[in-house]
């Protein structure tokens, strides 16, 4: 533990750089105020040395310890638990370079968030529904951490749409019931606030069956600014992975007879067998498609790929209408990530594009019709 004098000016600078929060990676605990103890203005943080102020202390050095004793670059703000963790309990697990990296990451994040303009504030919409037997919950902390640098939360609370049902997704009444619940909650919690100019832009985080995600996209539309996020499995995060290789899309167009059932195959996260589509629509079905070269569950990692997908889809909607006529209904067979499903709905223009019938793949049953959009 430190015994050297640290000037008040340096202490104030450190508290400001840390925004009054513990700089230990993953903690971020606010160290100002304790409402339980009734001390709203109290400070409960410790100033820790990366290189100890004594050569005998943690990470101490005979020459560097006195030189760095009051240097801001060598100081970290810590909660009591993590101060003890790095200086007493597990000193060997926290060498100098590890602590320097923690300090740099924390202070960079604080600077980035506090430097944002007001017009980057977005309301956060969380949408969770039952996928099979799993109730999908989304962590608020993980969501807020994924928004910078492009957006930051407009308020501390999120707008939550939750569809909980004892009816399972393989029962006939499930889709109509969930679709109705989604539309009602969206109208009450989101649409009214958009019309009243309370919500100017949205950041969307969702986990739900693909037909409901596509319908959410149609409700969001493409009028106001919307940022759609994707949950990644490896690493487990909502942050976009900007330096991943681009997705190679293959767009398939149909050129046969016009007066036949129309299918749109979206094979981004998994392959979709044409024969399974024909088993539903008939052997003469017209199959249009957007497919990834190497589809897999964790494929959508860059917002640029999402934008390219949406461009391909808009063009296909136009081409399908031109080929099959304005009365055609598009049967959509999706195997897509969450963000792609939402953007599929957002890409549809209600007054210009054909109605959609969304199919879902049920184990041991194949594709079944779920929700109709438009028409």
Report yes or no on 140 lying in a domain.
Answer: yes
Residues 73 and 154 in one domain: no
Please tell me the total count of domains within the chain.
Answer: 3
130 in helix, strand or coil? strand
In this prediction the pTM is: 0.75
b/e per residue 222-231 (b: at least 16 CB within 10 A): beeebbbbbb
* Cα–Cα distance for residue pair 99/23, rounded to 1 Å: 9
Instruction: Give start and end residues of each alpha helix (H) in the chain.
Output: 8-17, 64-68, 80-84, 96-114, 140-146, 174-186, 192-195, 210-220, 274-281, 303-324, 338-347
- Final residue of a domain: which of 57, 82, 114? 114
Residues 86 and 153 in one domain: no
pLDDT in tens, the chain (375 residues): 556 789 999 999 999 999 999 999 989 999 986 533 444 445 678 999 999 999 999 999 999 999 999 999 999 999 999 999 999 999 999 999 999 999 999 998 888 777 656 678 899 999 998 654 334 456 788 888 888 888 888 888 899 999 887 787 778 789 999 999 999 999 999 999 999 999 999 999 999 999 999 999 999 998 789 999 999 988 888 999 988 999 999 999 999 999 999 999 999 999 999 999 999 999 999 999 999 999 999 999 999 999 999 999 999 999 999 999 989 999 999 999 999 999 999 999 998 999 999 999 988 788 999 999 998
| Residue 324 belongs to domain with CATH number | 3.40.50
Residues 56 and 132 in one domain: no
Report yes or no on 131 lying in a domain.
Answer: yes
* Cα–Cα distance for residue pair 95/342, rounded to 1 Å: 45
Residues 110 and 123 in one domain: no
- Final residue of a domain: which of 114, 135, 165? 114
Residues 86 and 99 in one domain: yes
Residues 96 and 179 in one domain: no
Bridge partners, 46 (sequence order): 78
Residues 271 and 368 in one domain: yes
- Final residue of a domain: which of 114, 134, 167? 114
- Find the domain containing 33 and state its range: 8-114
Residues 283 and 223 in one domain: no
């Amino acid at each position: 533990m430190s015994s050297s004098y640290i000037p008040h000016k340096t202490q104030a600078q450190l508290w400001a750089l840390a925004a009054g929060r513990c700089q230990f990676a993953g903690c971020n605990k606010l160290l100002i105020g304790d409402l339980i103890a009734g001390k709203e203005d109290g400070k409960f943080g410790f100033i820790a040395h990366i290189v100890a102020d004594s050569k005998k202390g943690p990470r101490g050095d005979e020459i560097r310890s006195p030189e760095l004793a009051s240097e801001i670059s060598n100081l970290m703000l810590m909660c009591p638990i993590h101060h003890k963790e790095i200086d007493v309990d597990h000193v060997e697990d926290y060498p100098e370079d590890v602590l320097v990296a923690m300090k740099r990451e924390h202070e960079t994040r604080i600077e980035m968030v506090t430097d944002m303009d007001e017009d980057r504030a977005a309301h956060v919409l969380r949408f969770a529904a039952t996928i099979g037997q799993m109730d999908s919950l989304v962590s608020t902390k993980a969501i807020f951490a994924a928004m910078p640098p492009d957006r930051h939360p407009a308020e501390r609370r999120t707008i939550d749409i939750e569809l909980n049902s004892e009816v399972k997704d393989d029962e006939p009444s499930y889709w109509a019931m969930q679709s109705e619940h989604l539309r009602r909650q969206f109208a009450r919690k989101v649409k009214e606030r958009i019309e009243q100019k309370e919500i100017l832009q949205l950041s969307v985080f969702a986990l739900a069956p693909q037909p409901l995600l596509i319908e959410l996209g149609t409700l969001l539309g493409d009028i106001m600014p919307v940022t759609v996020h994707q949950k990644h499995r490896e690493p487990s995060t909502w942050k976009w992975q900007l330096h991943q290789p681009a997705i190679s899309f293959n767009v398939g167009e149909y050129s046969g007879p016009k007066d036949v059932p129309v299918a749109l195959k979206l094979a981004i996260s998994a392959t979709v067998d044409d024969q399974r589509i024909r088993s539903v629509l008939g052997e003469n079905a017209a199959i249009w498609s957007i497919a990834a070269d190497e589809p897999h569950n964790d494929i959508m990692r860059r917002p640029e790929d999402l934008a390219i997908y949406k461009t391909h889809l808009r063009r296909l909607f136009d081409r399908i209408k031109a080929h099959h006529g304005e009365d055609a209904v598009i049967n959509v067979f999706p195997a897509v990530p969450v963000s792609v499903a939402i953007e599929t709905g957002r890409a549809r223009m209600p007054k210009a594009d054909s109605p959609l019938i969304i199919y879902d793949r049920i184990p041991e049953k194949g594709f079944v019709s779920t929700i109709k959009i438009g028409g």
